[in-house]
């Protein structure tokens, strides 16, 4: 994790920003919860546990800064809340998809690129260069399906 924090610090410095202690707390929360898709409010609540002086506005500003520097990216799962993931690497391997349970809201990542053939066809037929894609499947997870 320290290498990732160092890399983020260097990226921000190159853009004449600093990785302040508050920003580092926010980054650590995101890194410690990589398997989750946290909203700004959830990040704020986790940061508050370790740094009570960090405000919600600071979390929002930091998330926007991290987005601008491609440190994180946001995803909308159709519930009216942005969720955040560490790392974006647009066009460079960020090909994973999400299964979203319509009942409990559980989000499952599918870490396979299921659209390679379709991307090739679109590129060829429409002369269009694809840099990234996002695919979301909505349905019911095993637990919710078994409750029915």
DSSP string, 38-59: B-HHHHHHHHHHH-TT--HHHH
In this prediction, residues 77-87 reach a mean pLDDT of 85
The 10s digit of each residue's pLDDT in 117-127 is 888 999 999 99
- CB neighbour list of residue 144: distance below 8 Å, 6 or more residues apart: 101, 103, 104, 106
Please tell me whether 101 is known to bind a ligand. Answer: yes
Please tell me whether 144 is known to bind a ligand. Answer: yes
Task: Decide if pLDDT at 20 tops 90.
Answer: yes
Please tell me whether 109 is known to bind a ligand. Answer: no
Please, what are the domains in the chain? 1-88 (1.10.10.10), 95-148 (3.30.1490.190)
Contact between 26 and 55 (Cβ < 8 Å):
no
Please tell me whether 25 is known to bind a ligand. Answer: no
Please tell me whether 35 is known to bind a ligand. Answer: no
């Amino acid at each position: 994790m320290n290498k990732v924090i160092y890399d983020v610090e260097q990226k921000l410095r190159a853009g004449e920003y600093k990785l302040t202690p508050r920003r580092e707390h926010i980054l650590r929360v995101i890194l410690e919860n990589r398997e989750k898709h946290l909203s700004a409010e959830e990040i704020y609540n986790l940061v508050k546990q370790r740094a009570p002086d960090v405000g919600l506005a600071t979390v929002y500003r930091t998330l926007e800064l991290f987005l601008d520097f491609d440190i994180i990216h946001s995803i909308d799962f159709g519930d009216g809340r942005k969720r955040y993931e560490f790392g974006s690497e647009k066009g460079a391997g960020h090909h994973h998809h999400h299964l979203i349970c319509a009942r409990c809201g559980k989000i499952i990542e599918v870490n396979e690129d299921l659209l390679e053939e379709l991307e090739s066809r679109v590129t060829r037929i429409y002369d269009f260069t694809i840099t990234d894609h996002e695919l979301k499947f909505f349905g019911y997870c095993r637990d919710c399906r078994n409750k029915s």
